[in-house]
Every structure is written in C-alpha cells, then in structure tokens.
Amino acid sequence: LPGRVGEMAISNEREPIEKSTTSLIENNGYQDTVYINAAKIFQGIRIEKPQDKILVRYGNELVSSLPDFKDECSQRSSYELAFSALKYQDLLENILLDSCFYPCQSIPDELTSLIVVMLYDLQDRKFQARQISDEEESIPEVRDVERYLYSFKTKLAAALARCRIKHDALSIEYILPETLRKQEQRASALPLYAWINTLKSSLEDIYKELKKEGFTKVESVSDFEGYTYCLDKHCHDVLVFPASLKEEILNLELFTGYKLILQDKSRSLAVHSVKASLNMDDDFIVAHMGSWLTAAHMSVLSNQSTSKVFVCGVKSQAKEVELKELFTRMECGNIELLHEDFTEIETTDQRLQKAKVILLLPRCSGLGVSNPIEFILNEHEDAGLLRDLSQGSVAENKLHILAERQLQELMHAMRFNKVQAIVYCTCSVYPEENDAVVNKALESGVEGSKVQPYRLSPPLWCNSEIEGPSDIFFKMEPSEISNCCFLAVLARQRDPAEVISVKDILARAAAKGLLDGLDIGKSTKREEKRKKKSKVTQQRNVPKDTVVQTNIVEFLNREMISINTNSEVSSIKGISGVPQKNMNQTNSSIQLKKITKPISNSSLPGMLKNTPNLSSMSKVFERRTHIRKPRAEDKMVVLKPVEIVLPPVMVPYFNPQGNKSQISAQHYYYRWIGIKSSARDLFIPSLSKRLVKSKETLPSTMVKHPRPWI
C-alpha cells in the first residue's frame, strides 16, 4: 500500500540524500508533521457529498493553511497518506459511524480530516500502537486524536470487520473498484526511467559507474533480476531500472549529482520528438512551467551556445530563483524563464522569433498514470487530480473543460507563424483529450493562409520505428512497464522552394541516432588545429563502423525524397486541368541542362569532412537537390506507355589526324520511357520519365557528306 518506506521515491530536484527519519521502519507510523500535512492535503481534495447525504462533517480551518514540508521525503509521504485516505473515504467514514466514534464531542469538526488520515494509518498498522521517537517534534492535535482513536481500537476493528464481511472482501483493497486495483498493481511493478544528463557525464561513464556499483546491463525489462538495468528501446539516453531498487539507486551519486534524472518515460518521448524536429540552432518553447525536468532534458539535448529553451508561466520571483539554482546544478545554461502564461504571449513576441518548435504538455485528466503521486510531484501538477484518480474516472463536464482548454492552447501554438512543428503530449486515456483535440485544431485552420498549413507527422526517435494503421499518433496504453502516453507531432508542410542545408539535415539525422559516435558540434577552429597536428590522426578518427555512413546516405535519400514529394504532389494537382498535347510532334527538341556545381566540402559540418564515403553522400544529396522544376509544356497526362523516337541527331567531330570535320557514321536517338506511378496510372514526363540514349549503326548505303549543314 502507499505510505510505506520501501515504496517512497525522492524527486530528482534534491540534495544528496541522508537517511531520513521522516517515516519509521515497517508499519510503525509517521511523524506528527506528516499526519498534519496529510490532513491538510486531504481536506483540499476530499469528495464533497450532497447536503442530504452528509453524515460526517469537515470543518474549514485546515483549508486556509498550506502544508509545510520539512523535506521532500516528508512531502511524498504526506501525499501518499492523503491519497490513500481519499480512496477509502467512504469506508473510513462508515467505520467512524458504525463504531460510534463519530460524532465526538471532544474533537471539533475542523479535525475530522486528521481523524480520517490517522484512522487509515491505524488500520494499516493492524491497530498497533505507533512507535514515537524522543527527538520527534510533538503536535498536540495529533497526539489528542491518536489517543482517542486508540481508545476505540476494538470497536473500530470490529466495524472494519463488518464492512469486509458486507463486501465479501479478504482485505480492504478488494473493496476498491477493479480499475483502481489494477492501477495499484501496475504501480508496484512499474520500472523506473532515468535520462542521462550528458552535460555532466557521458553514456560510457554512466555504464562504468553502474558497473562499479554492482549493476549489470541486460537486454530488456523482461530480463530484470537483482541489480540490473537496460537501455530504453525508444530513447537512446534513457535507462530503465527495476522498481524494487528505487531506494538503492536514489542513494547513488549518479542521482544525487544530477547525472541521472528520474522522470516518467512519456516526457522523454516528447522531448525526443521535439529534438527530431529541430535544426541545429533553433530555439524552442516549453509551454508549461510545471515541466521543469522536461525543460532541463530539452536543454541537455540542444546546443547550449546557439539554442534557447523558453519556459512559460514562471510567475513568482521565488520560483524563478529556485529554478535557476536547479538548472545551474544541472549545468543547463540556455534556459530562459518567462513570467507570462503561454496563452498570454503574443505570437509576434520578439523574444520568440527564433523558436521553431513548441512542446505542449497541457494539464490533462492523467488517468493513464499508474503512480499519480510521482506524476503530481515531478510534473508539479495540481493535487486536485487525485480526486478523479481516486474514483477511476472523470466527470463528463470536467472532461469537457479540460478538452476545451487543451484545444485553446494548441490553437494558440498554431498561430506562431515562424514555428515549424508542435509536439502535443498527454497522459490521458480519453480520446476527447487526445485525437479529438488534435483533429479539431487541424480543421480550424487558425494558422492562416499566408503560411504553410500543419499536417500530422509520425513521431521519430532513436532506435524506434512505429508501425500500424494508426501510426500517425503514438499511443502507449497503461501497463506494468509504462504509464499511458499519447503523442502527436504537427509539422508544417514543407515548402518545395525551401532550401534545406546539409547541416540541418544532419542535425535531424543525429536526433534519430544515425550519427552515433560522430560529433556534429565540433568547431572549425578546433578541427583545423587537429589537422595541423597530424594527418595520420585524421585517418584514425574515421568511424569504425561503415554502417554509420550507410545510414547517413539512406537518411539523405529519405529527406530529399520527402522534399521532392511535395513538389510532385503539387504538380499532379495542376496536371488534371491541362489539355493533352499531341505526342507525335517530330520537331520537338529536348534541352539537357548542365550539371549544377556539386556541393562544396566547406558547406558540410566538420564531422563529415573526413568521412570515407563523403563523395557518395555528396552525389546522393546532389542528385536529390538538383531536380529540374516542371515546365508548363511538360504538364501532360498519358493514358498508356508510349515510346517516341526523335529524328536522328548527327554529331560532328574532328578527325584527330586533321582539322577537317567529319560526320560520325552513327545515329543517336532518344527515347522517352514512361514509368508507372505508384499512386495513379499516370505517366508524367516531367516527373517520372527517363531519358535513354541508344546507339544504332547507320545503313551502309547512307551517303556521307563532309558538311551536312551546307
């Protein structure tokens, strides 16, 4: 059950851990401060019943006072205790009434919340007395309620037994709805996900440190046994640990030193989706202040010197100071904090003109989260979400309010004309908050007609390929290995006339894991110094695995094909309105363009200048980028394959033994061969034809003329 020490987790925003005395070992209860803080949280999130059904009354005194936590372990324990009492609120109230404990003349209604949370902990301890330390701070209200409850322990235990018999339940867990029972089972087995802060340590160093601590790397979560871990299959910088090792790993220097950061996997998926949509020097926006660790992860994956991460909604000065200290400890130096909420920021704000991607993590119902306490504390969500999570469902009117707010935020993001992609992510199981919101936003057309429209794009991450008929959205159902995650990437349709540099394409390739072992951020000066030292060193620096170069070439192919596809589609749309032309014109001429100048080596990032297969990659990129735009006379439709033979072309040449020109005894002709389109049964010469040159010997009876043009 929640509330036990072994199940506690400590957030990543913490100082080096010392053994805390916040909660005592096993089932010996909590400190007084935990009870009083849990009562305050419960008072704010409890289920309020209609007036005609209220039997147990709660005062309002605790509502005005906010919880005061000594440390984060105390905070987590207080939330867990309050959430447990909330799930069993009806049961606990029935026990108080059935045992005649309530109403109680000696205890005011303002302390009813404290009674409920302490009653839950008392029955969880099998009605045994709490062990109290001499050094513990004493709170009079807590001691009074404890003494009164303990004096009624026999009647309270009997009332609990009658409730179990009434529900035919072996324990109180079986009284909960099935959805909540499954949620608790998933939460107990849910692995821990931690992303690597590469600003402080490399992946190889992390592996070495874990090996020193006795951890063994395995292939997948199914191989977990003892001190093991594995690499996440979607994100190349995320490690997965067994849930049973939570306390052990949180005491490691890797976590206390912010080299490994615990966070839900859904947030890492969203961050990598943003990274895959970025060019090398782009800024991006994190639309919600609550996602502090998400902003830090995004900063780690970006260029610290040329990119900025804008975080919206940092209202208070104290919170700004706290966040800056946190980011400094994590060595994230390119995060800018904005005081305005995201929807309050103008789309023409000069600070955001370089921003190309927006990450939207809107507040959602969160019913796909198996461990809600971790979710609320790490993502700084409203504790009011626990009210819905304790019931296993969300009221229809509240779901409608959430969906409307999500739609407004997404539509506001689409109004930023210079933004090229939007990543939308929730932890909800309801389509109303997921597919419906995205589809409504796309249908609204709020981006206007002066810019390229948005379209859905499959999310891309390292070591991952999405398959299936609905792969335009990424969805993870709640399971024993992950929480729920819905992810949608809205990208602007690429302008066919837009020129994309090799540098940006390689940045996207790096985001997809195709440039493993290669550093695309090396400066030119450093590279030149390396060249001066030794030419032999350059040869040794060649990547060991030629698969990397092959992946780069294939990626350049795909990127250029996607660019050309847009121009082909636009051409096909224009062809339908053009009348067919006579294909049998014998006077037609073909003008062959000269090959455009190849890409210069200087335009490539430094990491590729010494790559062995550079010439082949340049040729691939050249062929893809220098495709002639279709002309008006080329826009024609042919209903069946045809072959056109043009008149012989006689090419003059010079005799090597003299200056007199002669005519070659060979004829050349060109054939236009149509290639069947995979999308339609059309033949479009300007887009799909191949120009084939064949050679044929002239008949021997052909008269040779030294000057055929006279």
C-beta of residue 17 within 8 angstroms of C-beta of residue 60: no
Nearest to 248 by CA among 236, 262, 232, 238: 262
Q: Binding residue per annotation — 109? A: no
Residue with tokens 């297969």: 613
Residue 678 has what DSSP assignment?
S
Would you name the residues annotated as active-site residues?
Answer: 427
Name the token pair of 560: 């250029």
| Amino acid at the residue 520 | I
Residue 55 region, left (φ>0) first, then alpha (ψ -120 to 50), else beta? alpha
The three-class DSSP label of residue 669 is strand
CA–CA separation, 325 vs 335, rounded Å? 12
Nearest to 541 by CA among 531, 556, 551, 554: 531
CA–CA separation, 122 vs 128, rounded Å? 7
First CA to last CA across the chain, in angstroms?
102
Residue-level length of the chain: 710
- The CA–CA distances, whole Å, from 688 to 10, 425, 636, 677, 681 equal 60, 40, 12, 8, 12
Residue with tokens 């998926």: 269
Strands (E), 378-469: 421-426, 454-457
- The full DSSP string for 141-191 is HHHHHHHHHHHTHHHHHHHHHHHHHHHT-SSGGGGS-HHHHHHHHHHHHPP
Angle, CA 286 vertex, CA 283 and CA 495 arms, to 5°: 50
Q: Count Cβ atoms within 10 A of the Cβ of residue 637 and give its class: 0-12 exposed, 13-18 middle, 19 or more buried.
A: middle
Annotated binding site: 341
Binding site for S-adenosyl-L-methionine: residue ranges?
341
